[in-house]
Amino acid sequence: MAAPPAPPEPGVLLPPHKLRLLARAWLEEDAPSPDPASWAVGHAPCHAQLLCKSAGVLAGTPFAQAAWEETGCRVSWRVAEGSRLPPGRTVVAEVEGPGAALLLAERVALNCLGRCSGVATAAARAVATARGRGWAGMVAGTRKTTPGFRLAEKYALAVGGADPHRYGLGELVMLKDNHLLAARAPLAQVVGAARRAGGFTRRLAVECGSAAAAVAAAGAGADIVLLDNFTPQALHAAAGEVKAAHPGVTVEASGGIGLETLPQFLGPHVDVVSMGVLTHGAAALDFALRVLGGEGEDGTP
């Protein structure tokens, strides 16, 4: 039997026009007016090495490349997106272009790489933990992302092997606890109204704080029940109750789950574990740019 085709690279999820728009917005934020230092550098051709000084998973190269290309530079990558970076210094890419233009995009590119690589590294660690325990469910992120940087962080989750979860509010009909409280109506009525508003193309998720609420939500028509802020013991008991009554419903666990505690939340009745810490708690990897030429031509600082 033929092996299934390999999944496409996460980069295909990034529309080129969106990359350009983001690069321009980030450059505008960083350089809203002329940079006096550019006067000293000028437009003479410049060659630099992009270095990573941390171990982890490389992610964010499309965003860094878009920033440099926006200023007229060319990037030649030595390490592929999604590759494991060893401890110590690794030459990740070489960048060429007019000196002032190359340095204009430097910080934007480095910040994108550091942040995305940190998220991808955390995601890869979580997925490896889950697979190491023999759990076949899905590790996912959440919408706890940095304003203005959501696409990059969602993309980085995918590079690390995790599911990005919904990008925006409209991609999934989700009734959280505050929706249910604000609606001031019976659960079945609120679920029915949300399903009608979402149409036939969107799945419906309901956040639940108890096993009884989860079973009721599944019975009312929820496709996904989100068991939020449960202890591991209570989570597995509630998930078992939901699956016993509604085997086809997806059970998602979320709320306060960290990389160290993740194994406690993996169980046979849990389909998805979503973790906000993969984005809001990820430590950035350390990237640097070293201009070559004259002294320090080998790229050393």
- Transcribe 85-110 into DSSP letters: EPSS-EEEEEEEEEHHHHHHTHHHHH
If phi > 0 it is left, if psi is from -120 to 50 it is alpha, else beta; for residue 263 that is alpha
pLDDT of 156-181, one tens digit each? 999 999 999 999 888 999 999 999 99
Q: What is the CATH number of the domain that holds 64?
A: 3.90.1170.20
Residue 31, CA atoms < 13 Å, CB-side half-sphere: 18
Residue 75: Cβ-neighbour burial (10 angstroms; 0-12, 13-18, 19+): buried
Buried b (16+ CB within 10 A) or exposed e, 173-212: bbbeeeebeeeeeebeebbeebbeeeeeebebbbbbbebe
Please indicate, yes or no, whether residues 131 and 276 belong to a single structural domain of this protein.
yes
CB 51 within 8 A of CB 299: yes
What pTM value is reported for the model? 0.92
Q: Please state the domain count of the chain.
A: 2
Please indicate, yes or no, whether residues 94 and 133 belong to a single structural domain of this protein.
no
Instruction: Find the catalytic residue in 18, 144, 154, 176.
Output: 144
Distance CA 136, CA 21 (A): 37
pLDDT of 72-84, one tens digit each? 999 999 999 999 9
Three-state DSSP at 128 gives: helix
Please indicate, yes or no, whether residues 139 and 201 belong to a single structural domain of this protein.
yes
Please indicate, yes or no, whether residues 110 and 134 belong to a single structural domain of this protein.
no
Establish if 194 belongs to a structural domain.
Answer: yes
pLDDT of 40-66, one tens digit each? 899 999 999 999 999 999 999 999 999
Distance CA 246, CA 221 (A): 10
Query: Which pair of structure tokens corresponds to residue 201?
Result: 């193309």
Establish if 83 belongs to a structural domain.
Answer: yes
Please indicate, yes or no, whether residues 90 and 116 belong to a single structural domain of this protein.
yes
Please indicate, yes or no, whether residues 116 and 152 belong to a single structural domain of this protein.
no
Establish if 108 belongs to a structural domain.
Answer: yes
pLDDT of 81-124, one tens digit each? 999 999 999 999 999 999 999 999 999 999 999 999 999 999 99
The residue with greater pLDDT, 4 or 299, is: 4
Q: Edge to edge, what strands does the sheet with 90-98 contain?
A: 74-77, 90-98, 45-52, 287-291
Please indicate, yes or no, whether residues 222 and 187 belong to a single structural domain of this protein.
yes
pLDDT of 10-50, one tens digit each? 778 798 999 999 999 999 999 999 889 888 899 999 999 99
Helices (H), the chain: 16-30, 36-41, 61-70, 99-104, 106-132, 150-159, 177-183, 187-198, 211-220, 232-245, 277-280
**In terms of residue numbers, what domain contains 217?**
127-280
Establish if 229 belongs to a structural domain.
Answer: yes
Please indicate, yes or no, whether residues 39 and 58 belong to a single structural domain of this protein.
yes
Please indicate, yes or no, whether residues 189 and 45 belong to a single structural domain of this protein.
no
Establish if 222 belongs to a structural domain.
Answer: yes
Establish if 296 belongs to a structural domain.
Answer: no
Q: What is the CATH number of the domain that holds 137?
A: 3.20.20.70
Closest residue by Cα to residue 192 from 167, 222, 150, 169:
222
Establish if 1 belongs to a structural domain.
Answer: no
Q: Is 144 a catalytic residue?
A: yes
Please indicate, yes or no, whether residues 254 and 110 belong to a single structural domain of this protein.
no
Please indicate, yes or no, whether residues 23 and 168 belong to a single structural domain of this protein.
no
Establish if 5 belongs to a structural domain.
Answer: no
Three-state DSSP at 53 gives: coil
Please indicate, yes or no, whether residues 274 and 133 belong to a single structural domain of this protein.
yes
